[in-house]
């Protein structure tokens, strides 16, 4: 059964699931600024919209638009700036 998650007072919502590839979640983010922490490696793919990201150990910001992705190592945190409603797919591990 899917697992529904809500973060930042409902500004970020996701549905977790497992498929043949492994654990994943798909969700949406409202405009805002967020900091996330990882337990496992995460690969984030932008489905629509854009995510501006400051990856662990970096001072610069990078923008990822539809059909692009980025990876975050396990046990790290990363910052996001979201200017428009954005949907994403996150794969774990």
Task: Summarize pLDDT for 59-81 with one digit per residue, the tens.
Answer: 999 999 999 999 999 999 999 99
Residue 40 tokens, joined:
């496992």
Instruction: Give the position of tokens 């969700």.
Output: 27
In whole angstroms, what separates CA 53 from the centre of its chain? 10
Q: Which residues pair with 50 in a beta bridge?
A: 65
CATH fold of 3-92 reads Jelly Rolls (2.60.120)
Show me where the domains of the chain are located.
3-92
Give the H or E element holding residue 35: strand 32-37
Q: Which residues pair with 43 in a beta bridge?
A: 71, 91
Instruction: Give the position of tokens 């910001």.
Output: 61
Task: Summarize pLDDT for 2-43 with one digit per residue, the tens.
Answer: 899 999 999 999 999 999 999 999 999 999 999 999 999 999
């Amino acid at each position: 059964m899917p697992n529904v998650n809500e973060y930042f007072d409902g500004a970020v919502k996701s549905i977790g699931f497992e498929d043949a590839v492994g654990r994943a979640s798909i969700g949406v983010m409202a405009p805002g600024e967020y900091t996330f922490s990882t337990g496992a490696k995460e690969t984030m793919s932008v489905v629509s919209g854009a995510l501006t990201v400051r990856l662990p150990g970096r001072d610069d910001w990078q923008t990822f638009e539809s059909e692009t992705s980025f990876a975050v190592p396990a046990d790290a945190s990363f910052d996001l700036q979201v200017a428009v409603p954005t949907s994403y797919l996150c794969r774990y591990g």
